[in-house]
């Protein structure tokens, strides 16, 4: 009886994904193919890295809406820096710079949240405006389509490449490996280090965490720096893959990312959340964004579909919890 827990979000999301693919395969036999899979994987890279960061914050009991602005800032500032000062820098260094910029911006959130004790939603709402505003005021507003050669090299570097029977191409860039590495590293931190257990602990019950000797402030500070660094990396990968660095990109995605994470079972109240769930949530959101039309729903209904998914996905567990509570009292 315990073998499959149907009330878990991961199970629900997985069932919805399978059902979606089943329906899509019935209406379009070409749906279940390698190009669909590589499309799905390619579109999950940036969203997935964002989602891993957003999940860590949710697990710790906070919420971060500024990560898209961090990513846009790191992406564009790095491109400008490379273009003006060091056009021949190889891509690993460019990526390191973007990650550093992200970490520095994240540390601003970290100081305000961990050391000043301000509410996470308000702080990140404020820094979202500040990061985006200062990027567009001081760094620039024009998109750069002539990327530095290092970033262009990275975008051409494919993991899998192939031709379909009808002559069209498909490919999966090595950028996907970045997502895999980040997921593996985050899994290790969350499940195999004291730091990771501390993150779950402060999300579950901050006071208890403090009493068993966890340094809550230092843990929180680490979380926001980590999320900032991930956002910076996601930003530069986004620009490399799109082959354009547009300072207006990315901001606006934050609520979709949080939606994906929440669909995957992470709780806004903290302490609960898994990487498996997060990745399934991302896959579902990407499927809905790309392939809704395949199952016969016009793409103008896309946001309705995502909204319904969020409400059903969070509503079922919330309602079950509420009924369980009513039975106890």
Partner 1 sequence: MMGRILQSTEGRLAIITLVVFITMSILAPERFLSPANLTSMAFQFPEFAILALAVAVAMLTGGIDLSVVGAANLSAVVAALFMSQFAGTVANGGTGTGILLAAIALSLAVGLVTGLFNGILVATFGLPPILATLGTGLIYTGLAIAMTGGSAVMGLPPAVAWVGNGTLLDIPVPLVIFSALAIALGWVLKRTAFGLKTRMFGANPLAARYAAMDTGRVLLKVYALCGVLSAIAGLIVMSRANSAKADYGSSYLLLAVLIAVLGGVNPYGGYGRIVGVVLAVLSMQFLSSGLNLLQVTNFAREMIWGVLLIGVMLINLLTFRRKS
Angular region, 298: left φ>0, alpha ψ -120 to 50, beta rest: beta
Provide the token pair at 70: 């961090």
Footprint on residues 207-266 left by partner 1 (CB under 8 A): 255, 258-259, 262
Rounded (5°) CA angle 205-206-210: 120
According to the binding rule CB under 8 A, does residue 311 interact with partner 1?
A: yes
Q: How many CB atoms lie within 10 A of CB 281?
A: 31
Part of the chain binding partner 1 (CB under 8 A), chosen from 71-79, 195-203, 281-289, 294-302: 294-302
SS3 171: strand
According to the binding rule CB under 8 A, does residue 322 interact with partner 1?
A: yes
Which residue number, 132 or 238, has a Cβ lying nearer to partner 1?
A: 132
Q: Smallest gap, in angstroms, from Cβ of residue 301 to partner 1? A: 5
Which residue number, 56 or 257, has a Cβ lying nearer to partner 1?
A: 257
According to the binding rule CB under 8 A, does residue 130 interact with partner 1?
A: yes
Backbone phi and psi for residue 58, each to the nearest 5 degrees, phi listed first: -65, -40
Place of tokens 């660095």: 245
How many angstroms separate the CA atoms of 286 and 299, rounded? 13
According to the binding rule CB under 8 A, does residue 319 interact with partner 1?
A: yes
According to the binding rule CB under 8 A, does residue 7 interact with partner 1?
A: no
Q: How many CA atoms lie within 13 A of 311 on its CB side?
A: 6
According to the binding rule CB under 8 A, does residue 304 interact with partner 1?
A: yes
Provide the token pair at 257: 């990312």
Judged by CB under 8 A, how many residues of this single chain contact partner 1? Answer: 48
Question: Where does this chain bind partner 1 (CB under 8 A)?
Answer: 63, 112, 116-119, 121-123, 125-137, 141, 255, 258-259, 262, 268-269, 298, 300-311, 314-315, 318-319, 321-322
């Amino acid at each position: 009886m315990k073998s499959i827990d149907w009330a878990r979000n991961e199970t629900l999301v997985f069932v919805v994904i399978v059902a979606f693919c089943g329906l899509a395969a019935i209406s379009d036999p070409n749906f279940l193919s390698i190009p669909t899979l590589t499309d799905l994987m390619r579109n999950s890279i940036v969203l997935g890295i964002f989602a891993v960061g957003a999940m860590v914050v949710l697990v710790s009991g906070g919420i971060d809406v500024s990560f898209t602005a961090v990513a846009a800032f790191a992406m564009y500032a790095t491109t400008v820096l490379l273009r003006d000062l060091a056009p021949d820098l190889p891509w690993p260094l460019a990526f390191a710079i973007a990650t550093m910029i992200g970490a520095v911006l994240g540390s601003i959130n970290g100081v305000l949240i961990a050391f000043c004790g301000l509410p996470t939603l308000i702080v990140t709402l404020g820094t979202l405006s500040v990061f985006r505003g200062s990027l567009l005021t001081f760094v620039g507003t024009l998109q750069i389509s002539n990327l530095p050669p290092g970033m262009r090299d990275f975008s051409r570097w494919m993991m899998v490449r192939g031709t379909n029977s009808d002559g069209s191409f498909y490919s999966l860039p090595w950028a996907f490996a970045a997502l895999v590495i980040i997921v593996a590293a985050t899994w290790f931190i969350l499940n195999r280090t004291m730091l990771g257990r501390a993150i779950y602990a402060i999300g579950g019950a901050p006071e208890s965490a403090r009493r068993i000797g966890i340094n809550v402030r230092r843990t929180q500070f680490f979380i926001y720096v980590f999320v900032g660094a991930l956002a910076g990396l996601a930003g530069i990968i986004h620009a490399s893959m799109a082959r354009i660095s547009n300072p207006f990109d990315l901001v606006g995605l934050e609520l979709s990312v949080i939606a994906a994470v929440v669909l995957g079972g992470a709780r806004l109240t903290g302490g609960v959340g898994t990487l498996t769930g997060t990745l399934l949530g991302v896959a579902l959101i990407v499927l809905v964004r790309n392939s809704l039309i395949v199952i016969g729903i016009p793409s103008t209904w896309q946001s309705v579909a995502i909204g319904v998914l969020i409400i059903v996905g969070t509503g079922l567990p919330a309602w079950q919890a509420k009924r369980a509570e009513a039975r106890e009292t």
